[in-house]
Amino acid sequence: MAVVLIRACILYIIITFSLRLMGKRQLGELQPSELVVTILISNIAAIPVEDSSVPMIMGIVPILTLVCLDVIVSQIMLKSTKFRKLMIGSPRVIISEGNIIQKEMRRLRYTIDDLTEAMREQQIFDITQVHYAIVETNGKVHFLLKKDFQPAGKQDVGAGGTTDDPPAVVIRDGIEDREQLKNLGLGHGWLTQQLREHDAAVGDVFLMTADKNGCTTIIKRQEGM
């Protein structure tokens, strides 16, 4: 039993490292090649854990090989459009200028039920509102509504406004994040001054956020915490 336990721990570390190596994209939306790798990894990892007569290296080598190949293939896809098309295909338009392209839907084996379901997922209940629909390479469908049905933006109502960056955390749990301060174009001196104004030291702050304009929010630590 101890062997199984140790093997499981080692495989956990290796799989976590492998997924990290594959990148964050892996955890979100899977492309076909990534889906294959993920399914294979889970199956391969189970073998040496279940059967202790199988050497663990028989699990580790294929897992790392698949992940390394996936990273290499991803890099090649970045460089070559042709290779990318070959590996993951290309997005397909299924509604253009309000017209359903039935030939394309048949080619994608995409039923009208799939289309209406995808619409409902995006709170669209009337197909006549859709101007344009595209099936992405990961199978997701994105819709562009006709102008009349698009929600009004600030520009439409003449409200203007700027696109400010969201505030970033500069102190978390009493620890200063110098990198965030640098990203915001603010220095340690500015931070010290802000804290002095609020009569607080870095260690007293539970959370402090700031934006590029220097607007801050400070939440002090509660007593005894």
Partner 1 sequence: MSRLIVSISLLTVMAAGCFWSVFVVNKRTDELSEMVSKTEKAYMSGDKEGCVAAAAELQKMWDDFVKLGILVNDLGHAVEITSSIAEIGSFAQEQDDELYAACDRAQAQIQLFKDMQTPTLWKIL
Of the candidate spans 64-72, 137-145, 180-188, 189-197, the one that interacts with partner 1 by CB under 8 A turns out to be 64-72
Residue 72 interacts with partner 1 (CB under 8 A): yes or no: yes
Residue 55 interacts with partner 1 (CB under 8 A): yes or no: yes
Residue 4 interacts with partner 1 (CB under 8 A): yes or no: no
Residue 2 interacts with partner 1 (CB under 8 A): yes or no: no
Residue 64 interacts with partner 1 (CB under 8 A): yes or no: yes
Residue 3 interacts with partner 1 (CB under 8 A): yes or no: no
In whole angstroms, the minimum distance from the beta carbon of 61 to partner 1 comes to 6
Residue 23 interacts with partner 1 (CB under 8 A): yes or no: yes
Residue 69 interacts with partner 1 (CB under 8 A): yes or no: yes
Of the candidate spans 55-63, 113-121, 127-135, 163-171, the one that interacts with partner 1 by CB under 8 A turns out to be 55-63
Q: Write the DSSP string, the chain.
A: -HHHHHHHHHHHHHHHHHHHHH-GGGGSSPPHHHHHHHHHHHHHHHHHHH-TTS-THHHHHHHHHHHHHHHHHHHHHHH-HHHHHHHH---EEEEETTEE-HHHHHHTT--HHHHHHHHHHTT---GGGEEEEEE-TTS-EEEEE-GGGSPP-TTTTT-----PPPPEEEEETTEE-HHHHHHHT--HHHHHHHHHHTT--GGGEEEEEE-TT--EEEEEPPTT-
In whole angstroms, the minimum distance from the beta carbon of 52 to partner 1 comes to 8
